[in-house]
Amino acid sequence: MIINGANLNLLGTREVEIYGTASLKQVENLCRKKAESMQWSIDFRQSNAEGSLIDMVQEAQNKCNALIINPAAYAHTSIALRDALLNCSISKIEVHISNTNKREKFRHNSITAAAVDGVIIGCGINGYILALEAIALMQKNS
Ligand code: DQA
């Protein structure tokens, strides 16, 4: 499952100098293409609501082999999402499109990052593809 948090539905028009011009649909298509080449199926989701993201993480635990999550701003604020991730035992990668370390101080800390296996930051939308590859390698080597 690939989960996208708040405001990522606006990708392509939102702060394009930071996030680029690709829409979330284009990101989804990119992920689908990559997943197909790996013979994986993906469930690609987005919500602006913290509780819905938590429900998705709980669902992924029961249904999926791995989870990629861009929590968006909830990475910096949500103890509840972190708790949900801690309770989710499948392979988990957090992705941020922008390099949050180069941005405002409040973006430097991710509360959720300690609850996942790895984090990919600042590689643009390719971060999602790198996350798929990282999961494949992690699962191959475990
Ligand atoms: C983001 C970075 C967050 O700080 C921000 O709130 C987002 C997007 C990223 O992908 O770069 O909404 O997660």
Name all domains of the chain by residue range, CATH numbers in brackets: 2-140 (3.40.50.9100)
* Terminal Cα-to-Cα distance of the chain (whole angstroms): 20
DSSP state of 15: S
Residue 92: band (very low, low, confident or very high) from pLDDT cuts 50, 70, 90: very high
Q: Ligand 1 pocket test: which of 8, 53, 96, 112 has the largest number of ligand atoms within 8 Å of its C-beta?
A: 96
The secondary structure element, H or E, covering residue 28 is helix 24-37
Which amino acids are annotated catalytic? 19, 96
Tens of pLDDT, residues 7-64: 999 999 999 999 999 999 999 999 999 999 999 999 999 999 999 999 999 999 999 9
What pLDDT score was predicted for residue 126? Answer: 98
79 by Cβ neighbours in 10 Å (0-12 / 13-18 / 19+) ranks as exposed
**CA of 18, closest atom in ligand 1:** 11
Question: 139: which residues sit within 8 A by CB, 6+ positions away?
Answer: 65, 66, 91
Residue 142: band (very low, low, confident or very high) from pLDDT cuts 50, 70, 90: confident
Q: Ligand 1 pocket test: which of 70, 99, 119, 130 has the largest number of ligand atoms within 8 Å of its C-beta?
A: 70
The closest residue, in CA terms, to atom 1 on ligand 1 is: 72
- Is a pLDDT exceeding 90 seen at residue 141? no
CA–chain centroid gap for 48, Å, is 13
pTM above 0.75, yes or no: yes
Question: 63: which residues sit within 8 A by CB, 6+ positions away?
Answer: 1, 43
Tens of pLDDT, residues 110-129: 999 999 999 999 999 999 99
Average pLDDT over residues 86-94: 98
